[in-house]
Structure 1
Amino acid sequence: MSSRPREAEATGLELYDRTARDAAATVISRYSTSFALACRLLGPRPRPHVRTVYALVRIADEIVDGPATAAGLSTDAARQVLDDLESETLAAVERRYSSNLVVHAFALTARECGIGEDLVRPFFASMRTDLTQSSHDGASHDAYVYGSAEVVGLMCLQVFVNAGSPHPVSPSADLVDGARRLGAAFQDVNFLRDLDHDAQALGRDYLGVAEGAVDREQVLDRIDADLAAAAAVIPRLPADCRRAVTAAHDLFAELSARLRSAPAPSRRVRVPDIVKARLAARAALGFAPREVRA
């Protein structure tokens, strides 16, 4: 009698679906060890869906941030590739199939969890901004952060609330606000960490800090206020999501604290692996998100 695992028996569309999800997981494991660590703290219900969301985000980000240029694509060509990816993503959600494995995996998640065009389009709009706009004022910063980070938090929230359910529902207003503010905090932390790289390698200034238009301490204060607001609603997330979100929150709270103590870092501020492991262990044990000075 055969003792092959059930996965080996899948055929047709079922096999393709599984392969697509595996491809998404591979993308994340290659690009973000911190995210991969936090993702392992998710329960089996939301975990594969969150991976597919971040895999699509990563692929789109790479079109505007390096590999496409390294491959010789012009700005116009990169924009066309990005436009095609957006069109393929929206079409795949409707038809439940894509020849692009990452898009296929995302479409499965979007259909099951209720991720709609209202979240997909703002994300791609922000990605297009990176191809044409090098500096931002307050209004364009907020619009960019909404599309590039807040909607990603909202996509994940749709997963947290709806994965495994037959009919997606809308999350509560307090969870929506928390997801948006956590996404915004993550993005602004990354902007501060990558200030020199963005300016020198990409010619971009998302915050106006380098030109003196915005005070760095004000940005850190905003980050900490967003982290504090997000922490307040994490306990209201489904139980199989809280530990992972707490770990991510605490990692960025640690980064914020390190950025504040290094007002003019000469190197990219990072959290040592041993500290990351300690934060993950703390979250895994069920501790509440760490307090942040808001």
Structure 2
Amino acid sequence: MDPLYDKVCSKASEYTTKQYSTSFSLGTRFLAKRFQEPVYNIYGFVRFADEIVDTFLEHDRERLLLKFRMDVRDAVQDRISLNPILHSFQRVYHQFGLTWDLVDTFLNSMEMDLEEHVYDQKSYDEYILGSAEVVGLMCLRVFVEGDNEKYEELKPRAMKLGAAFQKINFLRDLHDDNAELGRVYFPGLDLTQFDVDAKRRIEREIEADFAEGYLGIIGLPKDSRFGVFVAYKYYANLLQKIRKLPPSTIMGQRVRIPNAIKYVLFMKCYVQHRFNLY
């Protein structure tokens, strides 16, 4: 394949990551250099699918998502795509031994977002698996660089970490997801009765996932550990901020970490990493 075309496509994925997510792109920069491009390429694929179901509301999203699914399948089979995001993703797919079940499970979760949805426990677990846990496994495939034994060892905890990140997103976006998209992800949650007890139950669920996920971070190869630790600390800080706020504030605004605080957080992470203070 033409190295220049590969480079152009990967730059498109990198640009997509940096435009859509300051925190994710900064965390990716703390990975070893050889991991950065593959992770950008995964994020670009995931982000475009998410944009179809969350943003393109004036278009036929079902048709767009079906076409996107067919296009990524063709990209993987043909090992080339004229869609730069899908071309860069298929390169990661083949280089690091991703499997189609991960891609298919992710796209199935995106399909669930095509309709207004109040989730029960079964559909909630299914959505978390597809939208978060398998994305974590795609990245884990990159980080272990073909070490299948290490992959299987870290797999359950990588899934827990991805689930924790996603659940924090759900909690942070509780109002917008319901008001703008008609979604309530947390099973059994009545937003008209979202009180301190309901909020605390969700936070405890996230804390349990975080505890398992943290053990997985410690087990990662050193060249990927720091970048994932930065992401963990960012989300832990976000959860801490959410924990201090009353339910009415969570329902009224999207909680954010200012960029200045992010940079301070990243510097603290570096010190911890430098002296192995995990």
Same fold (TM over 0.5): yes
1:143 aligned partner: 126
Counterpart of 1:59 (choices 48, 55, 61) is 48
Distance in 2 separating the partners of 1:126 and 1:160: 24
Shift of 1:172: 3.6
Conserved? CA contact 2:144–2:151, under 8 Å: no
What is the 5 A alignment of 1:116-155? Answer: 116-155=99-138
Give per-residue Cα distances to partners, 1:141-187, cap 9 Å, x unaligned.
1110100011000000001112xxxx673644341111101110011
Is residue 21 of structure 2 the alignment partner of residue 32 of structure 1?
A: yes
| Matched residue count | 269
Report the TM-score, using the length of structure 2 for normalisation. 0.91
Distance 1:133 1:170, change over 3 A: farther
Q: How far apart are the structure 2 equivalents of 1:271 and 1:133?
A: 28
Instruction: Output the TM-score relative to the length of structure 1.
Output: 0.86
Higher helix share: 2
2:140 aligned partner: 157
Residue 94 of structure 1 and its aligned partner are, at CA, apart by 2.1
Greater Cα offset, 215-224 or 121-130? 215-224
Q: What's the Cα RMSD here? A: 1.8
**Alignment-derived partner of residue 225 in structure 2:** 242
**Aligned CA distance change for structure 1 residues 90 and 168 (closer, same or farther; 3 Å):** farther
Contact 1:40-1:47 within 8 A present in 2 as well: yes
**Aligned-residue offset at 1:25:** 0.2
Q: How far is the alpha carbon of 1:283 from its aligned partner?
A: 2.2
Q: Structure 1 unaligned runs (5+)?
A: 1-11
Which residue identity lines up with residue 200 of structure 1 in the other structure?
A
Task: Kindly report which structure 2 residues correspond to 1:256-267, keeping only aligned pairs within 5 A, or say none.
Answer: 256-264=239-247, 265=249, 266-267=252-253
Give how far 1:127 is off. Answer: 0.3
CA distance in 1, matches of 2:234, 2:160: 15
SS where residue 144 of structure 1 aligns? helix
Q: Where does residue 258 of structure 2 map in the other structure?
A: 272
Q: Paired residue for 1:22, among 8, 11, 22?
A: 11
The Cα of 1:257 is off from its aligned counterpart by 1.1
Structure 2: distance between partners of 1:221 and 1:115: 32
Deviates more, 1:135-144 or 1:99-108: 135-144
1:47 to 7, 12, 36: 36
Q: 1:215 Cα deviation (Å)?
A: 2.1
Partner in structure 2 of residue 194 of structure 1: 173
Q: Which residue of 2 aligns with 1:230?
A: 213
Identity of aligned residues (%): 37
Distance, in Å, in 1 between the alignment partners of 2:111 and 2:147 is 29
Q: What secondary structure sits across from 2:114 in the alignment?
A: helix
